[in-house]
Chain A
């Protein structure tokens, strides 16, 4: 039985891994040069507790359960989670009413340990919070992750369990032919028994190519500002949500930086690549973040970026099955949190219907790239003894070693961003101005590349152009 999974974001990668638990041949298709570079790369990275979602939605069905599943998943796949907790803060009586409703809804959705804190209690949890708040909804279960790390980990684990990965391969259309599915791709034609469409922003168009009608998607843009490492906030801070969404947050990231954002800008369906930041968007982020935390200091900004989320008019996930073809569309917020539960349900449901046999040789564990900066001294010494390159710090801001960069290349990084998103090198305050050349020299040595062939991310994003002499 041959199964195609289209898209290697958080949803596609977890589905592909889930399928490797059965005796099937899994092939993953990704149109970008690396995994998790679409919607997954640029979002808030939050594991939501699950109080936001109206009961009877797919969001409510999967959010709290997905959140819980991340604990086991992070142990199996060895990625970092910080259970930092969250506060939804209220600035007036109307907002207090809303957070009380959220508390109630949370209870209905099976969210544990929610409580409303007084102003003083909230300020004890979060001393830099605005003094203007009057109450807050606290959830200790909210967490932060680096979403792309989960996609990388899931894909690595799927590959380890026998799956195949086609990078830079865009699936242009799906055609049903004699009970099989033909994928027309930018790298030729493939045939499969089962197809899962997890193509993120393009999932609606791909479903349409297969003759399946789904609610159309449009991108909702979120702009962010990343601040340097600090202890500005300890928990994820939300304003009281409105119709426009969960609002602009202040987030302590898994890498100890602080992330401000996102905005919520509905773009047209033709703007699925519009990840530009704008003056208005960035000013809005600053204004709203400073309302929550007046101490937010923009001189600590190290980068701005924008991401797109797949949004539809019904504001819920759509999982549509047509024979052996499944389309997963509009995995909007809390898609990241929901993904493990959604992936499990989709795969188990299909496995049952197709009578798939379980794979007794499935290995659930994947080890992360060793990270010298997070080790105690004894482990550091041990690793350096085995491989001295783990003693050579390349990225000074995030203390990333040569050994880590070589390992990232061994695991498939072929671009500077590939290394950045696997190791956090170039992710720090200098944004690569000190370490880019060193990393390019390591790539040249390991891959035999010329400097001219090394790119930032996409094919034409070369760094240098020609030689001096």
Chain B
């Protein structure tokens, strides 16, 4: 058996557990140690197969008290899709008011993950 051990830092939360992931000779996930919670195990497995990340960014708001509303993907999306997702996010806008949690893009790039607003943006009452 040619097992391989890969070291990585879990990025699921800011605790940042140091993980040791064991892979078989084909690079397939076998086991993980060092994680302080079950999420770390899922992370480790995904990280060696198809890494996923939450994407936080912002979307243009029309008629809001702020020019942008911050958004994020509700769940992690494949890392390889991040720049494609940014293209979609850059191409759209929303109208104020925006509520926190409001779905801004449904099922982005068919990932079954929504992009949601992460803050409230009220309408701008000052200017027309």
Q: Indicate whether A and B are direct neighbours in the complex (CB within 8 Å).
A: yes
Q: Which chain B positions have C-beta within 8 A of A469? A: 58-60, 67-68, 90, 93
How many residue pairs between the two chains, A and B, have CB atoms under 8 Å in the bound complex? 9
Q: Which residues of B59-73 have CB atoms within 8 Å of chain A's CB atoms?
A: 59-60, 67-68
Q: Which chain A positions have C-beta within 8 A of B58? A: 468-469
Q: Which chain B positions have C-beta within 8 A of A468? A: 58, 68
Interface of A, helix, strand, loop or mixed by DSSP = loop
Q: How far is the CA of A469 from the CA of B60 in the complex (A)?
A: 6
Encode B44-85 as 1/0 by CB contact (under 8 A) with A. 000000000000001110000001100000000000000000
Q: How far is the CA of A267 from the CA of B110 in the complex (A)?
A: 65
CB distance from B5 to the nearest CB of A (A): 42
Chain A residue nearest to B57 in the complex (CB): A468
Chain B residue nearest to A469 in the complex (CB): B60
Q: How far is the CA of A18 from the CA of B63 in the complex (A)?
A: 53
Q: Which residues of B77-126 have CB atoms within 8 Å of chain A's CB atoms?
A: 90, 93
Encode A452-469 as 1/0 by CB contact (under 8 A) with B. 000000000000000011
CB distance from A287 to the nearest CB of B (A): 43
Chain A residue nearest to B60 in the complex (CB): A469
Interface of B, helix, strand, loop or mixed by DSSP = strand
Q: How far is the CA of A469 from the CA of B57 in the complex (A)?
A: 11
Q: Which chain A positions have C-beta within 8 A of B67? A: 469
Q: Which residues of A410-469 have CB atoms within 8 Å of chain B's CB atoms?
A: 468-469
Q: How far is the CA of A468 from the CA of B89 in the complex (A)?
A: 11
CB distance from B71 to the nearest CB of A (A): 11
Chain A residue nearest to B90 in the complex (CB): A469
Q: How far is the CA of A469 from the CA of B93 in the complex (A)?
A: 9
CB distance from B107 to the nearest CB of A (A): 22
CB distance from A371 to the nearest CB of B (A): 29
Q: Which chain A positions have C-beta within 8 A of B59? A: 469
Chain A residue nearest to B89 in the complex (CB): A469
Q: How far is the CA of A468 from the CA of B68 in the complex (A)?
A: 9
Chain B residue nearest to A467 in the complex (CB): B67
CB distance from B61 to the nearest CB of A (A): 9
Q: How far is the CA of A469 from the CA of B70 in the complex (A)?
A: 12
Q: How far is the CA of A468 from the CA of B93 in the complex (A)?
A: 12
Chain A residue nearest to B69 in the complex (CB): A469
Q: How far is the CA of A468 from the CA of B67 in the complex (A)?
A: 10
CB distance from B109 to the nearest CB of A (A): 19
CB distance from A231 to the nearest CB of B (A): 41
Q: How far is the CA of A297 from the CA of B59 in the complex (A)?
A: 46
Q: Which chain A positions have C-beta within 8 A of B68? A: 468-469
CB distance from B103 to the nearest CB of A (A): 19
Q: Which chain A positions have C-beta within 8 A of B90? A: 469
CB distance from B60 to the nearest CB of A (A): 4
Q: How far is the CA of A345 from the CA of B58 in the complex (A)?
A: 63
Q: How far is the CA of A469 from the CA of B104 in the complex (A)?
A: 15
CB distance from A449 to the nearest CB of B (A): 16
Q: How far is the CA of A39 from the CA of B118 in the complex (A)?
A: 51
CB distance from A440 to the nearest CB of B (A): 14
Chain A residue nearest to B61 in the complex (CB): A469
Q: Which chain A positions have C-beta within 8 A of B93? A: 469
CB distance from B63 to the nearest CB of A (A): 14
Chain A residue nearest to B67 in the complex (CB): A469
CB distance from B68 to the nearest CB of A (A): 6
Q: Which chain A positions have C-beta within 8 A of B60? A: 469
CB distance from A468 to the nearest CB of B (A): 7
Q: How far is the CA of A259 from the CA of B67 in the complex (A)?
A: 41
CB distance from A466 to the nearest CB of B (A): 13
Q: How far is the CA of A469 from the CA of B92 in the complex (A)?
A: 9
Q: How far is the CA of A469 from the CA of B90 in the complex (A)?
A: 7
Encode A235-259 as 1/0 by CB contact (under 8 A) with B. 0000000000000000000000000
Q: Which residues of A19-62 have CB atoms within 8 Å of chain B's CB atoms?
A: none
CB distance from A137 to the nearest CB of B (A): 60
Q: How far is the CA of A441 from the CA of B68 in the complex (A)?
A: 16
Q: How far is the CA of A469 from the CA of B86 in the complex (A)?
A: 11
CB distance from B64 to the nearest CB of A (A): 12
CB distance from A286 to the nearest CB of B (A): 39
Q: How far is the CA of A469 from the CA of B67 in the complex (A)?
A: 9
Chain A residue nearest to B91 in the complex (CB): A469
CB distance from A257 to the nearest CB of B (A): 36
Q: A469-B67, A469-B90, A469-B93 are in contact. List 6 more A-B contacts (CB 8 A).
A: A468-B58, A468-B68, A469-B58, A469-B59, A469-B60, A469-B68
* 9 sampled A-B residue pairs with Cβ under 8 A: A468-B58, A468-B68, A469-B58, A469-B59, A469-B60, A469-B67, A469-B68, A469-B90, A469-B93
9 nearest A-B residue pairs (beta carbon): A469-B60, A469-B68, A469-B90, A468-B68, A468-B58, A469-B58, A469-B59, A469-B67, A469-B93
